[in-house]
């Protein structure tokens, strides 16, 4: 028995929600602030950024918003702090704060 993802809340038992590793609806990550799992935090240094956008496609959580072809600051509600973006940036415009949300 699956539960509508929009009805999941902190008062539910694990028995009341869907099984793990199963996808029953798309686009559900917008409904949850998964960034609270983060241990390390990326920091955007706008003054060093050349707007090459190389960081955007490597982000597994789509946590780097782009508006009018310009990269904006991180969406920390969904960023997991993996650091892939910092490794992809050739201009050191992203650094990682270790152990900080």
Put simply, whether the predicted model's pTM sits higher than 0.75 gets the answer: no
Number of domains composing the chain: 2
The residue assigned the tokens 């992203």 is: 94
Closest CA to 61 of 78, 83, 76: 78
Instruction: Verify that 78 and 38 share a domain, yes or no.
Output: yes
d(CA 74, CA 39): 15
Closest CA to 74 of 98, 52, 46: 46
Strands 70-71 and 66-67: antiparallel
Identify which has the larger pLDDT, 22 or 83.
83
pLDDT tens for each residue of 30-77: 677 788 888 999 999 999 999 999 999 999 989 999 999 999 999 999
What three-state secondary structure class fits 84?
Answer: helix
Full domain range(s) for residue 49: 33-101
Instruction: Verify that 25 and 39 share a domain, yes or no.
Output: no
Determine the distance from the C-alpha atom of residue 50 to the mean position of all C-alpha atoms in its chain, rounded to a whole number. 22
Instruction: Verify that 45 and 94 share a domain, yes or no.
Output: yes
């Amino acid at each position: 028995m699956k539960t509508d993802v929009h009805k999941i809340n902190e008062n539910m038992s694990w028995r009341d929600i869907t099984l793990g590793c199963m996808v029953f609806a798309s686009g559900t990550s917008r409904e949850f602030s998964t960034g609270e799992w983060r241990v390390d935090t990326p920091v955007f240094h706008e003054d060093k950024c050349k707007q090459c956008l190389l960081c955007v496609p490597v982000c597994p959580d789509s946590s780097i918003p782009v508006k009018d072809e310009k990269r904006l600051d991180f969406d920390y509600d969904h960023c997991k702090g993996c650091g892939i973006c910092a490794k992809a940036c050739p201009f050191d415009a992203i650094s990682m704060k270790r152990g900080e949300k």
